Structure 1
Amino acid sequence: MSVAMSASMSVQPMLQQPIPQRIGEVGGHREWSTGLFGCFSDCSSCIMTMLCLPGMECKNAARLGECCLLPHCCAGSNIAMRARLRTLGGIRGSILQDICAFCLCYSCTVCQMSREMDNMGL
């Protein structure tokens, strides 16, 4: 019986330390690759944004892995997508700054997001 009992008693595994889930600094480690009013550094995205803003919004959403209709179906989704883009790229900023950018010049902000995704290879 002691043999059976010793066989059933096994060494329990040690608890492993949790793996950190954070992939970067909370505040980001870099700035946007182009400024908010740097629209003319990429004339094609500037023209597309000015002529067809809804199309550029759909394109940005799809490039971020979201449904392309998200910007037109859900209020505030462009702000959420900008925050996601900042997180993916390690870009400094805050949600308040994202809101202010959209309030200052909505089209320029959408265009800046497209340029940033181009520079990030998305």
Structure 2
Amino acid sequence: MSSSNYPNQEFDPKAAEGPWSSGLCDCFSDCSTCCLTYWCPWITFGRIAEIVDQGSSSCGVNCALYFIIAWLTGCSCLLSCGYRSRMRHQYMLKDSPCGDCLVHVFCELCALCQEYRELKSRGFDMSLGWQGNLEKQNKGLAMASTAPVVEGGMTR
């Protein structure tokens, strides 16, 4: 399959992928997220899932689902690795340091922390959820459109 912009080159979707904003083990750069994830990983997961789902599922439902799966099976990574994959595709992130499922199986808490930091670095206030972030964004746009226009710049 060739692209019309590059007729003699094969299209490689991985070529456009970029790096994560932080490393998998950069937990000390955000101690509050690290502590939240260590003590209540279901909350971290619920917040990530709500943003990745773009508000189609609630943080509370995702928290409960994660908690129940973790409690019954001890394999909450079965749920969380799918969200890592979806997030990577949404934001065109590299599949590193290894596959999504392997990262979650062997480093569940670090993976959740990295995903949480990534969304924060992209401007999300994780405590607000999807709807709260939309309202915050819309409020900012409304305020920018009603700001007074200064013509001519500054003069002495």
Alignment check: 8 A CA contact 1:89 1:120 kept:
no
Choose 1 or 2 for highest CA Rg: 1
Find the counterpart in structure 2 of residue 79 from structure 1: 81
Question: More deviation in 56-65 or 104-113?
Answer: 56-65
Find the counterpart in structure 2 of residue 111 from structure 1: 113
Mark the runs of 5 or more structure 2 residues left unpaired by the alignment.
1-11, 70-75, 125-156
Mark the runs of 5 or more structure 1 residues left unpaired by the alignment.
1-24
Distance (Å, rounded) in 2 between the aligned partners of 1:84 and 1:121: 18
Q: Percent identity?
A: 28
Alignment check: 8 A CA contact 1:34 1:115 kept:
yes
Equivalent residues in 2 for 1:13-92, closer than 5 Å: 26-27=13-14, 28-64=16-52, 65=54, 66-68=57-59, 69-70=61-62, 71-72=65-66, 76-92=78-94
**Residue 36 of structure 1: CA displacement?**
0.7
Tell me the C-alpha RMSD between the 2 structures. Answer: 2.2
Distance (Å, rounded) in 2 between the aligned partners of 1:26 and 1:84: 15
Matched, 1:93 2:95: yes
Find the counterpart in structure 2 of residue 17 from structure 1: none
TM-score w.r.t. the length of structure 1 is: 0.68
**Residue 26 of structure 1: CA displacement?**
2.4
Secondary structure of 2:95's partner? coil
Secondary structure of 1:105's partner? helix
Structure showing greater relative contact order (alpha-carbon pairs closer than 8 Å, 6 or more residues apart) = 1
Runs (4+) of structure 1 exceeding 6 A deviation are: none
What whole-Å deviation, never above 9, does each CA across 1:55-81 have from its counterpart, x for those lacking one? 111111112223332352777331121
Aligned residues: 97
Distance (Å, rounded) in 2 between the aligned partners of 1:104 and 1:35: 15
